[in-house]
Amino acid sequence: MKIIPYSLLAVFLGFAVIARAEVKITIDHLDKEHATAGFKFPHVPAPRRGDAAAKAVFTLLDGQRDGGGGDLDKLHDGTLPNIDDEPAANFFFQAGTEGGRILVDLGSVIDIREVNTYSWHSGVRAPQVWRLYASDGKAPGFSAQPKRPADPATLGWRLVASVDTRPKEGPLGGQYGVSISDPGAARYLLFDVARTIDVGSFGQTFFSEIDVLDRAAPEVVETPPVQLTESVDIDGGASRFTVDTTETPDLTDWSHRELIPALQKWYPLIVKMLPSNGFTAPKTFSITFTDRCKGVAATMGNRIEGSPGWYREQLKGEAIGSLVHELVHVAQQYGHARQPGATHPPGWLVEGIPDYIRWYLYEPQSKGCEISPKRAATARYDASYRVSANFLNFVIGKYDKELIRELNAAMREGRYDAELWKKRTGHTVEELADEWKKALEAGPPP
């Protein structure tokens, strides 16, 4: 597409020269198999931090943000999704709507070298369909907020590019990079975003990043963040783990002094508590403090992720205990060796056992699972986490010192059923629960 930058028109009229800036549109597509977290395309440059968009103000002019995704900041914070379906790391419009308009105010008129956009999804939310308008804000009749259905071209804006990255054939999923070279000088950019498919509700592009490169800005050499990963041996190398504080350098010292010694001691203890025939617990695991993790912490196989904000607040409180809980998940591995016909481990026990080990064995002094006589009436043995841990502690104390080992082995081997309680204690789980509640109502012995 060829355009004449509006601001230069007057000059052109004065000279008998027709100078035209040439807008070039480059589109790259990596299929699902080749897309990686680095967004490395053959032609479109990789996303960068600290570009002109990083400081710009992004405003939603039309359309609604989908609450399942990130906010507009995700478009210019320099962070990228790690996988092809990470809604919170992308901005996208509300499902089932007609997209919308995003206004970018760069703060002052700059000579833009490139506008680059990036998206990633496993399916129909990957490709990009949008128009880019630009303005220096000086044209007569300029509207700073050209909402739909107004045509921005009639309100002091010029159409820079129409982009549609949908391939003619083949799957839509994967990663897309779009680079608009030489869009001209502008202070304002307007993205008019359309949906990628007309049917169904999932045609909203997962936009991962928008970069705006200022021709006058010095080329920034990207320095990769310093990797802060401590590798730790357990029992002379019998097993190993890493703690990655690259995103949270402020947690490095705490991790080294307090967290690591506790986990070094407790992982082998936990593994020993949870044996079963022919099973070997993971010999390695990793802990990463990362903004990818929403909530408190999560364990995926032998990878644990913790949410930086929560840990910073809990360094003197629940931080280490919560990771002891996650270590139990690493050792549980109930997804392993599933036979056809295996029973599904009940969720309340999958979470109750880690909380039992954490609160009653790792930190009994913090008394984190106490249930007052007043709350006894509404307590449910299968309420999961601490309440179930309290129930387990009751049954263990009164009937069965080996209960955790037996429950764990049965769940891991896919043979858990409620009969196990009767076999181990002579009582059904409901009878045990009634007895437990009576004991709670009576309160602790004086």
For CA atoms 80, 86, 92, 98, the dihedral sign is positive
Taking each helix axis from N to C terminus, what angle separates 319-332 and 347-356, rounded to the nearest 10 degrees?
130
Q: Which helix (H) or strand (E) holds 179?
A: strand 174-193
Q: Give the span between the Cα atoms of 131 and 152, in whole angstroms.
A: 11
Q: Give the span between the Cα atoms of 407 and 230, in whole angstroms.
A: 34
Q: How far is the CB of 351 from Zn ion (least distance, A)?
A: 5
Smallest CA-to-CA distance from 58 within 209, 217, 202 is with: 209
Ramachandran sector of residue 261 (left: φ over 0; alpha: ψ -120 to 50; beta: rest): alpha
Q: How far is the CB of 355 from Zn ion (least distance, A)?
A: 8
Q: How far is the CB of 354 from Zn ion (least distance, A)?
A: 5
Give the list of residues 6+ apart from residue 199 with CB closer than 8 angstroms, or none.
none
Q: How far is the CB of 144 from Zn ion (least distance, A)?
A: 49
Nearer to Zn ion, 69 or 352 (CB): 352
The residues facing 212 across adjacent strands are 115
Q: How far is the CB of 345 from Zn ion (least distance, A)?
A: 13
Contacting positions for Zn ion (CB under 5 A): 351
Q: In Å, what is the CA distance from 174 to each residue of 25, 164, 234, 266? A: 19, 15, 40, 41
Nearer to Zn ion, 191 or 266 (CB): 266
Q: How far is the CB of 365 from Zn ion (least distance, A)?
A: 22
Nearer to Zn ion, 28 or 351 (CB): 351
CA atoms within 13 A on the CB side of 368: 21
Q: How far is the CB of 298 from Zn ion (least distance, A)?
A: 8
Residue nearest to Zn ion (CB): 351
DSSP 286: E
Nearer to Zn ion, 126 or 404 (CB): 404
Give the list of residues 6+ apart from residue 347 with CB closer than 8 angstroms, or none.
384
Q: Give the span between the Cα atoms of 93 and 203, in whole angstroms.
A: 9
Q: How far is the CB of 329 from Zn ion (least distance, A)?
A: 6
